[in-house]
Amino acid sequence: MSAHNRGTELDLSWISKIQVNHPAVLRRAEQIQARRTVKKEWQAAWLLKAVTFIDLTTLSGDDTSSNIQRLCCKAKYPIREDLLKALNMHDKGITTAAVCVYPARVCDAVKALKAAGCNIPVASVATGFPAGQTHLKTRLEEIRLAVEDGATEIDVVINRSLVLTGQWGALYDEIRQFRKACGEAHLKTILATGELGSLTNVYKASMIAMMAGSDFIKTSTGKETVNATFPVAIVMLRAIRDFFWKTGNKIGFKPAGGIRSAKDSLAWLSLVKEELGDEWLKPELFRIGASTLLSDIERQIYHHVTGRYAAYHDLPMS
């Protein structure tokens, strides 16, 4: 992971001038979705690259130490070794970028990864995930406890009401406190874009989050009615680009929620490459939050290698 974003002073004059050209954003999103994907060995190469961006996630009420252990094993060995050997990629150390769990399961994940002998980061959701409607004191303590238990990345949720009522100074102050509570852990700020009301609000919330010290901005919790979409992503990526041009700070981007197919992952990689450039296509600056995506990527790689699609029992579960 790259160095922390130290943030900047709150610049409300910049925020007040922001207007998003909604029709232009939608046209750009349609271009991305209509584009034909890469094929054959190029597709396999891009899919393996996509694996290294995945925050392999389980955020279920029935999570137990045993399924966290299984998740961590899958993170270390995301693609069957015989398939990697067929592609001459078995010695490249391909793993997922991180595992992402609830705060109460951080200890289980840290223990499982240590036992597996790997240093994959553990990310924890926090701050009253997914709604962010608990008291600020409780949200800050949740961050601190997750960090104490070994989480090195914290995915916080913002209080959406502050965006919907235009309280940008209050939002900035909250995220600054989240930043401080994270200590040395990296801060990934979930905007829950499906609940922000407009693309202009998405841009403003993105900019406030970066000014306040977020290392990543993330689209969604995965629990909203509408999660990661291309129009929202375009707005967030251009906010990241504008922030970089203004400050020189590179902020990461993480789409999450509803990204389930290998084809989807390729479209997301293509979008980031075109909007921000190749330098953002690394785990330090790009993640995909997903729980089922890896299974479909492995199925597609299996098909590329063998010429047939895998049965359910052919591939290990995550």
Task: Give the domain range for residue 143.
Answer: 12-306
**Mean pLDDT calculated for residue range 205-227:** 96
314 belongs to a structural domain: no
Bridge partners, 156 (sequence order): 126, 189
**Mean pLDDT calculated for residue range 154-164:** 98
153 belongs to a structural domain: yes
What pLDDT band is residue 1 in, cutting at 50, 70 and 90?
low
Q: Which residue has the higher pLDDT, 311 or 109?
A: 109
Q: Is 122 a residue whose pLDDT tops 70?
A: yes
Query: Over the stretch 166-186, which tens digit does the pLDDT of each residue have?
Result: 999 999 999 999 999 999 999
Close Cβ partners of 274 (under 8 Å, ≥ 6 residues apart): none
Residue type, 130: P
Sequential DSSP letters for 229-258? -HHHHHHHHHHHHHHHHHH----EEE-BSS
As for how many domains the chain has, the answer is: 1
Q: Are 131 and 163 in contact (CB under 8 A)?
A: no
- C-alpha span between 178 and 152 (Å, rounded): 14
pLDDT at res. 312: 74
Query: Over the stretch 273-284, which tens digit does the pLDDT of each residue have?
Result: 999 999 999 999
Integer angstrom CA distances of residue 83 from 117, 190, 250, 315: 22, 35, 35, 11
137 belongs to a structural domain: yes
Q: What share of the chain is helix, strand, coil (3-state, %, to 5)?
A: 50, 10, 40
67 belongs to a structural domain: yes
Bridge partners, 123 (sequence order): 100, 153
105 belongs to a structural domain: yes
Closest among 42, 127, 125, 118 to 73, alpha carbons compared: 118
Active-site positions? Answer: 218, 254
2 belongs to a structural domain: no
**Coil, strand or helix: which one is 190?**
strand
27 belongs to a structural domain: yes
Residue entry with tokens 């990527």: 297
159 belongs to a structural domain: yes
CATH number at residue 263: 3.20.20.70
What pLDDT band is residue 310 in, cutting at 50, 70 and 90?
confident
- Specify the DSSP class assigned to residue 131: T
What pLDDT band is residue 33 in, cutting at 50, 70 and 90?
confident
Q: Which residue has the higher pLDDT, 317 or 119?
A: 119
- C-alpha span between 63 and 85 (Å, rounded): 33
pLDDT at res. 36: 73
> Tokens for 233?
């992503």
pLDDT at res. 313: 80
- C-alpha span between 85 and 107 (Å, rounded): 33
